[in-house]
């Protein structure tokens, strides 16, 4: 957990620069400062703003100089955007990689190949979750259909059929079907507690993937599985498909079955569900733990964050060097 350099702000207040460091002034209900804490600039790589926080351009410029990424969330926990530095100190992007990324996107054969490999890994990782919990789930028909897909529309259709069958297994995995019975996936807004949990955890994984992509030469605007046309950024959505079953789904199953998250951890605000601050703290402790766990690949050991960045670089080698690509599947 000490390896993860992520900071979360869960209270209203002011984020400011002072003496080449960061300070957070916490506000009370009358928006008066009731507490001030230092956030050591050398101990963080990214900050999640999960509530109403004021910040000025002087502080933003300082964060840019320090390569600190900000993630902004709305009042109901919905993701609203990022601030990422564009300074001489930030990771340099390569014109060559961008051109190759665009060429690979325009090449239907190559784009389909990468999209298929991402989806194969997503299916295999999700199926492993079912097998781990003793669920009789046969992923082979979906993988066979995927192999025959000729374009992204057909790939997404295969993935949609797989997702429906996979989510039907959740009620066999999750013990508390009274409060967390899965019926249908709903997103904007989530219609029930299980969907609110899925959306929150998936959003965290999207942002982790985006943070790791920013550390590579890839352009986060150009994706292969998801259509990038109407999104500012989309490559992190591709990458997250591989890791949502590994990180997010397993976190949800574990926390619900251990009763670490219960119905009491949700609040209703203007008819919309959201987590309490205490629930967010519990989830984030688990998320940080899972991102910091180590995995051996070949002779090397990587944290899950490093595995995600390694996956992005595998895609880069595929588009730039025509290297074979296989999505990461947890052993």
Residue ranges of the annotated binding site are: 159, 226, 241
* Torsion sign across C-alpha atoms 187, 190, 191, 194: positive
- φ/ψ of 228, rounded to 5, equals -85, -5
Structure tokens at 218: 């890839």
24 forms bridges with which residues in the sheet? 15, 37
Between helices 108-132 and 140-148, what is the axis angle to 10°?
A: 180
Q: Rounded to whole angstroms, what are the CA distances from 82 to 12, 45, 73, 296?
A: 19, 13, 9, 31
DSSP 8-state symbol, 137: -
C-beta separation of 196 from 187 below 8 A: no
**What is the DSSP track for 280-311?**
HHHHHHHHHHHHH-EEEETTEEEEHHHHHHHH
Q: How would you label 231-267 residue by residue, b for 16+ Cβ within 10 Å and e otherwise?
A: eebbbbbbbbbbbbbbbbbbbbbebbeeeebeeebbe
| Binding-site residues for Mn(2+) | 159, 226, 241
Whole-angstrom CA distances from 284 to 7, 201, 204, 288 are: 10, 9, 9, 6
The H or E element that residue 39 is part of is strand 33-39
Backbone φ and ψ of 171, nearest 5°: -70, -15
Cβ burial, residue 33 (10 Å; 0-12/13-18/19+): exposed
Total residue length of the chain: 331
Residue in the structure block whose two tokens are 């990782």: 125
Neighbours of 156 (CB within 10 A): 17
């Amino acid at each position: 957990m000490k390896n993860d350099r992520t900071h979360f702000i869960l209270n209203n207040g002011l984020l400011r620069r002072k003496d080449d460091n960061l300070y957070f002034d916490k506000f009370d209900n009358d928006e008066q400062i009731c507490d001030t804490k230092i956030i050591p600039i050398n101990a963080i790589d990214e900050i999640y703003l999960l509530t109403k926080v004021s910040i000025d351009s002087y502080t933003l410029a300082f964060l840019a100089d320090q390569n600190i990424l900000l993630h902004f969330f709305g009042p109901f926990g919905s993701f609203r955007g990022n601030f990422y530095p564009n300074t001489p100190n930030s990771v340099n992007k390569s014109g060559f990689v961008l051109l190759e990324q665009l060429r690979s996107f325009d090449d239907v054969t190559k784009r389909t190949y990468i999209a298929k490999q991402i989806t194969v890994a997503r299916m295999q990782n999700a199926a492993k979750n079912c097998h781990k919990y003793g669920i009789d789930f046969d992923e082979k028909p979906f993988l066979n259909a995927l192999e025959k897909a000729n374009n992204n529309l057909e790939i997404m259709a295969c993935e949609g059929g797989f997702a429906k069958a996979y989510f039907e297994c959740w009620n066999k995995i999750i013990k508390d079907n009274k409060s967390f019975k899965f019926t249908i996936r709903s997103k904007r807004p989530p219609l029930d507690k299980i969907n609110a949990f899925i959306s929150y955890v998936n959003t965290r994984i999207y942002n982790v993937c985006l943070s790791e992509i920013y550390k590579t030469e890839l352009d986060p605007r150009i994706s292969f599985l998801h259509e990038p046309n109407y999104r500012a950024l989309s490559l992190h959505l591709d990458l997250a498909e591989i890791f949502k079953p590994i990180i997010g789904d397993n976190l949800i199953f574990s926390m619900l079955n251990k009763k670490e998250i219960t119905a009491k951890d949700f609040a209703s605000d203007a008819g919309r569900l959201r987590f309490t601050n205490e629930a967010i703290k519990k989830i984030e402790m688990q998320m940080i733990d899972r991102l910091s766990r180590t995995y051996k690949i070949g002779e090397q050991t990587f944290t899950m964050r490093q595995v995600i960045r390694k996956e992005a670089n595998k895609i880069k080698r595929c588009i730039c060097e025509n290297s074979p690509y296989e999505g990461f599947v947890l052993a």
